[in-house]
Amino acid sequence: MTANTTKKRFIASKTSMLALLVVSTMVFTACSSKSETSTNGGDNGKPADGKQVTLKVEIFDRGNAPAGSTITDNYLSKFVQEKFGNNNNVKVEYVPVPRSEEVAKLNVLMASGSDVPDIVFTYDPNTFNRYAKQGGLTDLGPLLEEHGKTLKTFLGDEVLEYGKFEGTQFAIPAKRSITGKYASFIRQDWLTKLNLPVPQTTDELYTTLKAFKEKDPGQTGGQVIPLGMTIASAQYEPLLWSFIQSMTEEQQYTLTQQLGSNDYPVLLPGFKDGLQFMNKLYNEGLISKDFGLDKDKKKMSEDIQTGKVGFFSEDDINIYYKDGTYDLLEKTVEGAVLSAVDVYTNDQGKHAKPQYAPNGLYIMVPKSSKNAVEAVKYLDWMASDDNLFNLQNGIVDENYTLVDGIPVTNENPTEEAKNRLFNSGDLAIISNGKQLGSLEDNLKARVLSMPAQFHEQLAIAQEIAYADNIPLVVLDRPIEAQTKYATTLLDKFNEIIVKTTMSKPDQFESTYTAMLKDYMASGGQAILDERTAAYKEMKSK
Amino acid sequence: MSMGVYFRRYWQLYALLVLPLSYFLIFKYGPIYGIQIAFKDFNLFQGINGSEWIGFDAFKEVFGMRDFYITLRNTLMLNFLDLLVSFPAPLILAIMLYELKTAWFKKLSQTILYIPHFISWVIIGGIVYQVFGTQSGMINNLLTSVGLEAIPFLTDKNDWLVTYLLVGVWQSAGWGTIIYLAALTGINKELFEAAGIDGAGRLKRIWHITLPGLKPTIIVLLIINLGHMISIGFERPYVIGNLAVREYSDVLSTFVYRIGIQSGQYTLATVIGLFQAVVGLVFVLGSNYVSKKLTDESIL
């Protein structure tokens, strides 16, 4: 056993969860080292010409492999081997990592040194920064120049910028096909019943919510939840960000706190007003008493499906899936209609809301990898010709038909066709979402992948998600305090929302002050200081 | 019998111990090597040996964190309350079961009492949410339907404490009876009969025979429990706790998880682990010493 895993085990003895992790690592280590000797002949040096190289690629395991396939051996893995591997004398081997413990497992893999895959990835920018800072990643800049021309063009400079750490290209960020995030939804049939117009501003929304509460148009027997709220970002972000006031550039750069891949408004002017509004909604019974327990939106989705919720904000696409929230609502409540609307309004009369960063996964090649060249070639292959298209869409006529150049998923594919793409999203790592060359086509393709009765509404929701987006604040150097404190502060941020919202109105002020003080002391101040310094440095250049 | 003859005859007995011994050496003693991480600026890619020594810097950082003291306080508080509430529960249950004479009823109730022990905390968390939720929990639905005020079992910190403790009793009390029931079978039946003839009622018999008979077991369990005062399971506070009651539900194990696994600061997590181990050792030795002085019972 290596020294690293021994050390892991020491920490692990503290909690059973960690212990589990270690056990899984050991099992894993055993497996991978075996397969390495069998396929690679123990040769870890630079591949001599004519000698086959084994390229190990991480893949998320969601435990959903259909019968006849495994996460490491399936239609797509064979496709890759045939189209890429055989042409380049590379054996591509997938290394499964459970989706739910992605970062933890990745840490263990990285620490193991020799067993780490040649291509790894994470959604967490802090993890990427930490690896880069500790000197564990390969500089991909020169390799991209030499072997990744197509990939570079596909991703573009803006996306690639996200993979730089202090100016060096330590990661290849995946390109996100759609960056719109949120829309809001209202029970149109309730409005019609009460003879109310669609609310256009936050103030009007308040009046509407009040009416929902008092008149209970859904006849829920007093169980009505006028505003569906949770402690997941899709519900609170659109509300809170609409309270953020106009700022100077300096305020934007220094006061924003980036925790993980999102910006957080905790120090921005107006944030407190947003909390105050939530406090008012809570104390007047307009949001669920248990919203602070609902981290995964499960309870809220259930309440929407059973027709208790009047209004809510959500990822633009989430309610439209087959057998999803809207589908089930229509089945449970006769005549229920949800309309996509844009309501929360800021001080300039805009429906300001956050958007996604243009990148998705951070794809990395560990420094200990001997196959960095093949790794870049693999990603470059994926971006070339119609390879990505085939990985994402499967086989024409069996999986999709082309309508005006846009692949439309077959509504009733054969079992074989359906199983073909079960891991498509996790294998086609260079892109987050389907890429068809233009945003317009990407959006159209997404609409067409949903049940026909929702096409029109989803198109509206997508448009709303793109309206008045607040751009992410990009600093030209990593903020160390963010990497260090993000997880802790994210928890504290959610705690601030829950505690201030649930406090009695007369205790709001004191709760807010105490919580903010705790936030600042736990790393918020350190981030603020570092960002202020970074801004000054940027301006002085 | 000379040593040589002895070993030749009984070597199998020693061979049988090789496996358990190596288990402890590899999994319990081996990792002690990793304690040095607490004194190093641990770099994932350099390994333990390649990382730089930093002395007590990490200790200073941990002891300067506000969250550390809050989670430490909560760990001790939850464990202490658990000791008060959950420790006597299986004892009382076991005595009640022992007094039963109808075998089938006794077996049935034992089975019913054991079952919660086998349910994972994640599932219990879901059940707790359904039963104790404020907006639509079963209990509060009942309360509000008869016109009473809903009780925030999960979102008010004091109500949450009660919920946390009682759920613990529900989950573990039945299982805890096993060890007492085993000890009870070791008490000589004749003692009970003799006491009965001398006119001792049921309560007198419990007080003068059952409880003294269980004393060594109770003390051993108490010492073990005190040794665990500073460490706390991860699942129960993590699953039952929530943001609204974090002031009480955030404990050392969830803190270590956040810092060590989620933020990758292994050095800090190791420091906390080492701290827990040292304090745990002090607790065990201390309670063992006190018990030896007071009752002559001890485990060392």
Summarize pLDDT for B226-237 with one digit per residue, the tens. Answer: 878 888 888 999
Quickly tell me which residue has 């111990």 as its tokens: B17
Please name every residue paired with A401 in a beta bridge, in sequence order, or none if there are none: A408
- Whether residue A7 is contained in a domain is answered as no
Tell me the C-alpha distance between A350 and A11, whole Å.
49
CB contacts of B44 in chain A (<8 Å) are: 4, 107, 110-111, 130-131, 134, 136
Give the mean pLDDT of A339-361.
Answer: 93
* pLDDT higher than threshold 60 for residue A18: no
Predicted confidence (pLDDT) per residue in A163-214, tens digit: 999 889 999 999 999 999 999 999 999 999 999 999 999 999 999 999 999 9
CB contacts of A485 in chain B (<8 Å) are: 263
Q: Which domains does chain B have, with CATH numbers?
A: 62-295 (1.10.3720.10)
**Structure confidence at residue B225 as a pLDDT band (50, 70, 90):** confident
- Whether residue A443 is contained in a domain is answered as no
Q: Are residues A341 and A236 in the same domain?
A: yes
Sign of the torsion angle spanned by Cα atoms B264, B265, B267, B270: negative
Question: How far does the CA of residue B38 sit from the closest CA of chain A (Å)?
Answer: 10
Domain that holds residue A108: 40-178+359-391
Give the mean pLDDT of B91-102.
Answer: 90
Interface residue A341 vs chain B (CB under 8 A): no
**Structure confidence at residue A21 as a pLDDT band (50, 70, 90):** very low
Q: Supply the CATH number for residue A92's domain.
A: 3.40.190.10
Can you give the pLDDT at residue B45? 86
* pLDDT higher than threshold 90 for residue A463: yes
Q: Are residues A376 and A518 in the same domain?
A: no
* pLDDT higher than threshold 50 for residue A45: no
Interface residue A111 vs chain B (CB under 8 A): yes
User: Inter-axis angle of helices B88-99 and B103-114, to 10 degrees?
Assistant: 160
Give the mean pLDDT of A492-506.
Answer: 95
Q: Are residues A163 and A222 in the same domain?
A: no
Q: Are residues A87 and A217 in the same domain?
A: no
Sign of the torsion angle spanned by Cα atoms B37, B43, B45, B51: negative
Question: How far does the CA of residue A439 sit from the closest CA of chain B (Å)?
Answer: 34
Cβ within 8 Å, pair B47-A111: yes
- Whether residue A453 is contained in a domain is answered as no
Please say whether the beta carbons of A74 and A65 come within 8 A.
Answer: yes
Strands A168-169 and A164-165, sheet pairing: antiparallel
Q: Give the one of B42, B67, B244 whose C-beta lies nearest to A502's C-beta.
A: B244
Please say whether the beta carbons of A238 and A184 come within 8 A.
Answer: yes
Q: Give the pair of three-digit tokens for residue A408.
A: 């439309």
CB contacts of A135 in chain B (<8 Å) are: 43, 45
Q: What is the overall mean pLDDT for chain A?
A: 87
Please say whether the beta carbons of B244 and B134 come within 8 A.
Answer: no
- Whether residue A195 is contained in a domain is answered as yes
Can you give the pLDDT at residue A122? 92
Predicted confidence (pLDDT) per residue in B263-280, tens digit: 888 899 999 999 998 998
Tell me the C-alpha distance between A74 and A62, whole Å.
14
Q: Are residues A72 and A157 in the same domain?
A: yes
User: Inter-axis angle of helices A271-283 and A202-215, to 10 degrees?
Assistant: 10
Can you give the pLDDT at residue B49? 86
Q: Give the one of A16, A134, A495 whose C-beta lies nearest to B45's C-beta.
A: A134
* pLDDT higher than threshold 60 for residue A276: yes
Please name every residue paired with A353 in a beta bridge, in sequence order, or none if there are none: A469
Q: Are residues A212 and A290 in the same domain?
A: yes
Interface residue A289 vs chain B (CB under 8 A): yes
Give the mean pLDDT of A451-469.
Answer: 93
Interface test with B, best of A290, A299, A504 (most B CBs within 10 A): A290
Please name every residue paired with A169 in a beta bridge, in sequence order, or none if there are none: A164
Can you give the pLDDT at residue A37? 36
Q: How many domains, in total, are found in chain A?
A: 2
Q: Give the one of A113, A293, A521 whose C-beta lies nearest to B154's C-beta.
A: A293
Percent residues over pLDDT 90 in chain B: 48
Can you give the pLDDT at residue A43? 39
The backbone torsions φ and ψ at residue A154, rounded to the nearest 5 degrees and listed phi first, read: -60, -45
Q: Are residues A77 and A101 in the same domain?
A: yes
- Whether residue A245 is contained in a domain is answered as yes
Q: Are residues A99 and A187 in the same domain?
A: no
- Whether residue A257 is contained in a domain is answered as yes
Please name every residue paired with A338 in a beta bridge, in sequence order, or none if there are none: A187
Q: Are residues A348 and A235 in the same domain?
A: yes
- Whether residue A5 is contained in a domain is answered as no
**Structure confidence at residue A50 as a pLDDT band (50, 70, 90):** low
Predicted confidence (pLDDT) per residue in B28-81, tens digit: 999 899 899 999 999 888 888 888 999 999 999 999 998 999 999 999 999 999
Cβ within 8 Å, pair B243-A494: yes
Question: How far does the CA of residue B130 sit from the closest CA of chain A (Å)?
Answer: 10
Strands B40-41 and B52-53, sheet pairing: antiparallel
Task: State the DSSP code for A100.
Answer: G
Q: Are residues A118 and A173 in the same domain?
A: yes
- Whether residue A264 is contained in a domain is answered as yes
Q: Are residues A141 and A94 in the same domain?
A: yes
Q: Are residues A174 and A201 in the same domain?
A: no
